[in-house]
Amino acid sequence: MDNSAVLLLVAAVTLAALALAGCGQGSTGEDRVPERSAGETATTDQGVVQEAVAFGGLAVPADAEVLGVQHQSGIDDMYVLAFATPPDSVEAMLTGSGFTTALTPGREVHQRPVDGLEFGTGDEIVSGQDVLAPGGGRTQRVNRKVLVDRADPDRPVVHWWLFTT
């Protein structure tokens, strides 16, 4: 083999390896979340909120306040939402949404919150993830990550990341 053929073979193998690395995800696909584009802005538009709630199969208590929602659509869809709730409504939101995975202390979710919000730190954070099967108008499974921030114990904030990747 001459040098140009060897270089061409090395380039092809390198490109294939990079393509596979870029598509990497865990065996269930739950650990890969699409990145949000920098130009997105948060909204509280009820149409977008209702679309996100339906997409993620969420049950939002009447006393929850929408702090913001962001949507990214492309090959995959992703919604990022945040709700402030009275302390006793957090469990109702999780249970009503069919979220049965036990939340664990700490921040397992490493995505950004809705623009303009920040997470607390320390013991007031619990998080977890699950997968919602197709149904209820959904044609694809939806990966759901949730983080509950109790930095203000009188007004916890429930953050959701809902995506089809």
* Cβ burial 66-97 (10 Å sphere, 16+ → b, else e): bbbbbbeeeeebbbbbbbbbeeebbebbbeeb
Low-confidence ranges of the chain (pLDDT < 70): 1-41
Q: What is the pLDDT of residues 87-118, one digit of tens each?
A: 999 999 999 999 989 999 988 778 899 999 99
Domain residue spans in the chain? 33-163
Q: What is the pTM of this model?
A: 0.75
- Determine the pLDDT at residue 51: 93
**Inter-residue contact 128 to 144 (CB < 8 Å):** no
- Determine the pLDDT at residue 6: 38
- Determine the pLDDT at residue 114: 94
